[in-house]
Structure 1
Amino acid sequence: MSLRRIIKTVAAVAAVLLCVLLVWLWLDPYRVVLADYARQRIQAGLTRNAAQIDDHRWVYAYNDDAPANAPTVVMIHGFTGSKENWYPLAQRLRGRYRLFIPDLPGWGESERHAGDDYGFIAQNDRIARFIEQVARTPGSEVVLLGHSMGGGIVALTAARHPRAVDRLGLFDAAGVRFQDNAFGLAVLSGKNPFAVSDAASLQRYIDIVFYDDAAKPVIPWPADRIYIGRRKRDADFEQAVLDKIGRGDQRFLPGIEAAGIRQPALLLWCKQDAVIDASALDLYAAQLPQAQRVLLDGCGHMSIVERPDQAAHAVNQLIAEGRSR
């Protein structure tokens, strides 16, 4: 075959592949965002998997390249979040522990059912099932970490399913009546302060959850427009969840039931958290006198992204506590 024919063949194949790619993206533009999430996951050394648990299909990232009987760390994201929020911390814990990071049912890539309950109580039971069916290995402690809404969920899991959880970490956790701030007052008035409908509200959302400018994500075109479209479609779902966890009878249940938690615990906040005010740390500490307390400076609600080194150190300290005795 001549060189000219080879070039033409390669060009034709490339054109076909490009057309296939364009059709693939046209059918679901959100795949642009998912492709970047996949890049982040690979960079963190994690593998993607899925599991059917009861009536929901869960998607999760994991890494089990750890010593035999190493602790299993399960990480639960917050409201409007996803498993990707934990990747900076996971990258620093990889190799020491088995890691499992799911998208909660209703969020991210996991399945959502119209009309289902995705509040604190329902999700806490689902987390216990995820640990039982996917994460737990005989001889391995389970360390359950939760951020924001995820913190409220896992506090209930530790209290209500104590056999499923050996150690607990709450990061900027919801579930207590913290000191009034603009975010909390907006939620109580029926609004969604995290709502995203255009470029301005996307930037406002980022500015609310991040304090450290260096850690704020930059979302390039066209991913920003695609992400905005997804959040607009999720607006009703987000409000329904807020009705449960921010305005309903469940909103302070995690803090109340935390008094029944006996496992070693970690409480980690940032001073500049504009979502779950740092006063929440002391409220949880009053219920968890055994907890290690870490208050970081110069970061906001996304402590696990803004200060992953300090967060990883705190998790290592939590796991080390009492293990040598």
Structure 2
Amino acid sequence: MTKQFTYQSANIVYHLAGTGKTVVLLHGFGEDCHIWDEQVLFLKEYFRLIIPDLPGSGASDPLREKNGQPVSIDDYAECVAALLEKEQVESCVMLGHSMGGYITLAFAEKYPLALDGFGLIHSTAFADNEEKKANRLRGIEIMDQYGGASFLRNTIPNLFGEKYKRTHPEMIEGLIRRAAAFKTPALQQYYMAMMQRPDRTAVLSKAGVPVLFIIGTEDVAAPMKDVLQQARLPLKSYIHIIEGGGHMSMWEATTELNNYMLAYINGL
């Protein structure tokens, strides 16, 4: 079922599937809700799923700056909170991929009692270091010059492990074609928000619920060595490493990820 609501004058579209315990799936940069399609097909038999197009992605409008301040990761988290309020969800499990993980951490910091559990799917609680910030700024400039679609065409293949790139070029090309629908300003807004997000390792240290970590050995966007450092911080962690996987286990290791998610949620 597809629904929508208005948040700060933006039309936000989201999808519902299944029944039972509520699980929220947040997609990453350059993606929309459909990145989770295989997980939705599997998990809807067990849980009630809420899968939004985050503001600026898919069918959802971007957020506007307030008082001249750039849109932040916290602003996206507040939009998710408004969605849960609309759906009368008092508690849920939230699983975020990449940028969706940043939003999950921001949500967990402000609304810890609303989470029965949360997970970082190829994501990190570290803030961008200076090199990463410089790369984000360069990315924004490249998008200014060549457009967001061209930027994603060059960056999306790097998110996958080498084996998947060799064996499934048509899948990667399909993701690139879908990403071409993104508006350049929305992508730049995401990059600025990610660049300015704070370190949230304290959210992991203070987590009162078990935290799920999904890590790819060939992930260049959320390197295994960085995420493993963070996985030791929560009182209880569920850590799964995808051997040979990159940043996209939703596609690269669908069955493994589905089963890891199911076992984690059932164990809460």
What range describes the TM-score normalised by the shorter chain of this pair? 0.7 to 0.9
Cα 1:50–1:189, aligned 2, differ >3 Å: closer, same or farther? closer
Cα 1:86–1:198, aligned 2, differ >3 Å: closer, same or farther? closer
1:56 maps onto 2:2 in alignment: no
Q: How does 1:25-36 map to 2 (within 5 A)?
A: none
Aligned to 1:191, the other structure's residue is in SS state helix
Which position in structure 1 is the counterpart of 2:59? 109
* Residue deviations 1:121-144 (CA, integer Å, cap 9, x gap): 11122222212222627xxx5111
1:143 maps onto 2:93 in alignment: yes
Cα 1:215–1:132, aligned 2, differ >3 Å: closer, same or farther? farther
How does the TM-score come out when normalised to structure 2?
0.83
Cα 1:276–1:96, aligned 2, differ >3 Å: closer, same or farther? same
% same residue? 21
Q: Which amino acid aligns with 1:281?
A: V
Q: Tell me the distance in 1 between the aligned counterparts of 2:54 and 2:15.
A: 12
Q: Tell me the distance in 2 between the aligned counterparts of 1:135 and 1:305.
A: 31
Q: Which amino acid aligns with 2:157?
A: D
Aligned to 2:45, the other structure's residue is in SS state coil
Cα 1:193–1:166, aligned 2, differ >3 Å: closer, same or farther? farther
Q: Tell me the distance in 2 between the aligned counterparts of 1:297 and 1:160.
A: 34
Which position in structure 2 is the counterpart of 1:255? 201
Q: How does 1:286-305 map to 2 (within 5 A)?
A: 286-305=232-251
Which position in structure 2 is the counterpart of 1:16? none
Structure 2: gaps spanning 5 or more residues: none
How does the TM-score come out when normalised to structure 1?
0.69
Alignment RMSD, CA only?
3.0
Which position in structure 2 is the counterpart of 1:121? 74
Aligned to 1:95, the other structure's residue is in SS state coil
CA contact (8 A) 1:63 1:100 kept: yes
Q: Tell me the distance in 1 between the aligned counterparts of 2:209 and 2:71.
A: 25
Structure 1: gaps spanning 5 or more residues: 1-46
1:320 maps onto 2:258 in alignment: no
Aligned to 1:176, the other structure's residue is in SS state coil
Counting matched residue pairs gives 258
Cα 1:113–1:268, aligned 2, differ >3 Å: closer, same or farther? closer
Return the offset for 1:197. Answer: 4.3
CA contact (8 A) 2:14 2:53 kept: yes
* Residue deviations 1:181-204 (CA, integer Å, cap 9, x gap): 9xx476256335995749875543
